């Protein structure tokens, strides 16, 4: 019985020393540090996916159309605007036509007025396999995105070198995928 009593005292003493040891090693918590906290988040929004065939570049009379356009809604809402720090557009193209294309991305306000053109314009060579282009909006131009309600994608087809025209039966395709990567820093403003 004396041994079990001695073991209980030893366990209690060890527990008391551990409690004192951990009490002496902790610092006071500074809850004001929460005011300086930053939470970084990245949001990727798919903007457009197009798979265009020959008829998409021809009018009702099977004549070539030099420009094909599409509009998509911008993924920014008013609550997140103050925290937006960086925007990158990723554009992936594949072109099996024997024509060069250029792609332009324009920002439009709620009234459909162009307010910003993303630079540089993207060149898509003829008969090109998958190409990835990443364009970052310069920091000083990020405020343009605050008023952007739509992104416009314009695909410009270059004339053929030999004067030939696209046929409605042409099996070639022009694929376009695009996304916007938005970098946020949620902090106390």
CA atoms of 81 and 76, how far apart (whole Å): 7
pLDDT at residue 56, as a whole number: 94
Range of the domain at 111: 38-187
On whether residue 28 sits in a domain, the answer given is no
103-133 tens-digit pLDDT: 999 999 999 999 999 999 999 999 999 999 9
On whether residue 12 sits in a domain, the answer given is no
CA atoms of 103 and 123, how far apart (whole Å): 6
The mean per-residue pLDDT over the stretch 56-68 comes to 92
On whether residue 11 sits in a domain, the answer given is no
Is residue 2 scored above 60 in pLDDT?
no
The overall average pLDDT reported for the chain is: 84
Q: Which residue has the higher pLDDT, 2 or 63?
A: 63
As to burial, measured by CB atoms within 10 angstroms (0-12 exposed, 13-18 middle, 19+ buried), residue 114 is: exposed
Using an 8 Å Cβ cutoff, are 144 and 115 in contact?
Answer: yes
On whether residue 1 sits in a domain, the answer given is no
Backbone CA torsion sign across 51, 57, 60, 62? negative
On whether residue 73 sits in a domain, the answer given is yes
Reported as a pLDDT band with limits 50, 70 and 90, residue 31 is: low
Using an 8 Å Cβ cutoff, are 57 and 167 in contact?
Answer: no
Reported as a pLDDT band with limits 50, 70 and 90, residue 41 is: confident
On whether residue 2 sits in a domain, the answer given is no
The mean per-residue pLDDT over the stretch 24-37 comes to 57
Q: How many domains does the chain divide into?
A: 1
As to burial, measured by CB atoms within 10 angstroms (0-12 exposed, 13-18 middle, 19+ buried), residue 158 is: middle
pLDDT at residue 34, as a whole number: 53
Is residue 24 scored above 90 in pLDDT?
no
On whether residue 155 sits in a domain, the answer given is yes
CATH number of the domain residue 163 falls in: 2.60.120.230
Reported as a pLDDT band with limits 50, 70 and 90, residue 16 is: low
On whether residue 10 sits in a domain, the answer given is no
């Amino acid at each position: 019985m004396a041994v079990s009593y001695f073991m209980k005292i030893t366990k209690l003493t060890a527990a008391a020393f551990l409690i004192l040891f951990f009490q002496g090693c902790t610092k006071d918590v500074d809850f004001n540090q929460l005011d300086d906290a930053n939470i970084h988040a990245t949001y990727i929004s798919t903007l457009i996916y197009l798979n265009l065939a020959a008829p998409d570049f021809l009018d009702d009379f099977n004549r070539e159309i030099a420009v094909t356009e599409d509009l998509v809604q911008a993924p920014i809402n008013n609550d997140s605007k103050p925290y937006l720090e960086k925007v990158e557009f990723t554009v992936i193209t594949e072109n099996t036509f024997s024509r060069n294309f250029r792609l332009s991305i324009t920002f439009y306000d709620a009234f459909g007025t162009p307010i910003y053109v993303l630079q540089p314009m993207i060149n898509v060579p003829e008969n090109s396999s998958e190409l990835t282009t990443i364009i970052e909006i310069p920091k000083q131009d990020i405020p343009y995105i605050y008023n952007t309600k739509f992104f416009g994608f314009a695909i410009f087809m270059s004339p053929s070198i030999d004067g030939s025209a696209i046929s409605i039966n042409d099996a070639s395709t022009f694929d376009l995928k695009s996304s916007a990567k938005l970098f946020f820093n949620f902090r106390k403003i």
